[in-house]
Chain A
Amino acid sequence: MPEIFSEGFFPNINLQDETNWATDFVRDVIIPRLPEAVAGHFPVELGTVLVMVAFAGIFVAVVPLLPLVLVLAERKVAARFQNRTGPMRVGPWGTLQTLADGIKLIFKEDYIPPQGDKLLFLLAPYIIFACSFAVFAAIPFGDGIPIPGDFNIGIFYIMAISSVIVMGVIMAGWSSNSKWSLLGSLRSAAQIVSYEIPLGLSILTVVMLVESLGMQQIVASQDGGIFTWLIFRTPFTFIAFFIFFISSIAEVNRTPFDLPEAESEIVAGFHTEYSGMRFALFFIAEYANMFAVSAIGVTLFLGGWQGVLPGYDFLGGFPGFVIKTLGLVFLMMWLRWTLPRLRVDQLMNLCWKYFIPISFFNILGTGVWGLIFRHDDVWSIGISCAIIYVGLISAYAVAGRSLARKPEPQPS
């Protein structure tokens, strides 16, 4: 394999990438429109910074609307699963309920526990909020939509930023001076740190196949319709997708992994003592996170903004991306309203005994696959899909047979 060494492991990564879209935007759009007297002396670097700040402002303003929608969606979906209607009072069919809740929360008293650590208490929600929104910077929403942080190490950046959230959680739990909060935050720390590993390893399978860390490159490599999506590229990425998905549920602390905020055990976990807008920040961050991990999942495994069929725009582009993401979000909700919660040691068992070994197996498998099929072609994808199909069918058959042998056990 000499050519691999000569090209470097990841030839697409270019750390000396000087140009970025903001500089281009300043050069191409802004400077030609300025008066000539100014244009010659206009500092491009400053313009770049200003443009970036402006874009960031748009994001920070627009993205919080997402949780507003998602919270309502969650409540409506939950209500449907439980034969209820959900919120119905504010606005038509209760569509303005989250807005009303938000307004209420803004006007609520912002209570700070007197014995708590005030600075950390005030800081914690902002850290979580900032981190969960910083993730959005690297998500490729669609073809032609500028990504504020279009790094060549996009997925690495996302992993790094989303790991910081755990710090905010611990700070919140510690500074609340409440034992329940402390328990919750420590659970959260253990959980998030553990589940980072299968998450990262699952991402690694993708990175190995695409040979790039950039989000745009990952999306670009899936441009051949549904069967070139990375989930179907190899049987191992198929498994990796599910590990990624379940781990990401654990990352965003949702049922069945909502131990940090288990309301029936430790009341509300790390945000027990928070009230008012600070609580709302946690809440918004949670739903933003949920959307973010779903979007990452779509980008990595489900083709990003690429359509189902090559050449057609069906389920492609920005709407397609959002639909796919919301599909994953719905799956999360569905799981949440179906499953009970794991216990702390079982959570760790699941991670360390099941997910991590399987993830390593995946990496090994993907590596071998990559050696066998140097380039993705019809053959490799066909074989992969065939293996997935046969695997699913045989699993279904085996499960059906084993369950037919042992019907619903009756203790009486």
Chain B
Amino acid sequence: MDKYIRNIYKGVYTVLVGMRVTIRQFFQPNVTHQYPYEHDFEKKQNVREIPKGYRGQLYNRIEDCIGCKKCELICPVDCITITGDKLPKGEQLWDSMNVVHLKDGREVIGIIEGDDKKIMSEDSMTITNITTRLGPQEVIDRLEASEDESRAETFSTDEVSRVVTRNPVVFYLDQFDIDMSLCMYCGLCTEVCPTQCLVMKDSLEGIEYSSFDRTDLIFEFDKQEMYDKDETDNTEAAD
């Protein structure tokens, strides 16, 4: 009989304790977001900040790519396909160049006067032969033509966030395909990339790129596609 009453007590009491826990939560604010609505598509901003270094969609800045195929090799699921050829000896798509990333987000491509390894310790830097991204032949033409022009500009080192040296490109890529439907987002390819041109987008567009057709998820980063587009930085070449 003691156990009987004790059981009733226990049952009622624990139920009431549980109900106290839930009713407290009843008056707590929501933790969920109304995903697409509290989410500014125009500004490409989400209610939740996507942290820096998030492993989103793969993107290859083809101008920096030297076609080393290391990413193709390391990929555990073989989602990267690279075909290409070496140019005949002595030819190159462009010379060694420097990409200067400014703190306001702009990039200046040109050749730094002086030793580009030590340039960050100096006060200012002068960049000559500032160029834009155009088709390969046009680049070569322009480079040839601009020798006498010597378009130069000087920046103070405070403005500059980092300087990347681009090797002379002697490799012509026919095909640089990444099948994002196979990708497992391990990020190994971005780590082995020597020029750090293969990156994973840590922005909203690196996450929201769903499509209705599987073939739309094969992104072709090869040159021709890239240069046919305008100078916009963030276009991923797709059909």
Contacts and interface: CB of A to CB of B under 8 A. Distances in A.
Interface of A: 80-85, 88, 334-335, 337-339, 354, 395, 398-399, 402-403
Interface in B23-76: 23, 25-26, 28-32, 34, 37
A85 B9 contact: no
B189 to A, nearest CB: 38
Task: Pick the 10 closest A-B CB pairs, nearest first.
Answer: A83-B31, A338-B22, A338-B18, A81-B22, A84-B32, A80-B26, A338-B19, A399-B13, A85-B30, A399-B9
Nearest to A85: B30
SS class, residues of chain B in contact with chain A: helix
B15 interface: yes
A84 B26 CA distance: 10
Residue in B6, B8, B21, B32 with the greatest tally of chain A CB atoms within 10 Å: B32
B9 A402 contact: yes
20 contacts: A81-B22, A81-B26, A82-B25, A83-B25, A83-B28, A83-B30, A83-B31, A83-B32, A84-B30, A84-B31, A84-B32, A85-B30, A88-B37, A334-B22, A334-B23, A335-B15, A338-B18, A354-B7, A402-B6, A403-B13
Contacts of B6: 402
A37 to B, nearest CB: 65
B13 A337 contact: no
A351 to B, nearest CB: 13
Contacts of A354: 7-8
B14 to A, nearest CB: 9
Contacts of A339: 15, 18
Contacts of A337: 22
Contacts of A335: 15, 19
Contacts of B15: 335, 338-339
A81 B30 contact: no
B67 to A, nearest CB: 48
Contacts of B29: 83
Given A88-B34, A337-B22, A338-B22, 10 more contacts: A81-B23, A83-B31, A84-B31, A85-B32, A85-B34, A88-B37, A338-B15, A338-B19, A339-B15, A402-B6
Contacts of A398: 9
A83 B31 CA distance: 6
Contacts of B18: 338-339
B134 to A, nearest CB: 47
A408 to B, nearest CB: 10
B9 A395 contact: yes
Contacts of B26: 80-81
B124 to A, nearest CB: 55
Contacts of B22: 81, 334, 337-338
Contacts of B13: 399, 403
A339 B28 CA distance: 20
A97 B28 CA distance: 23
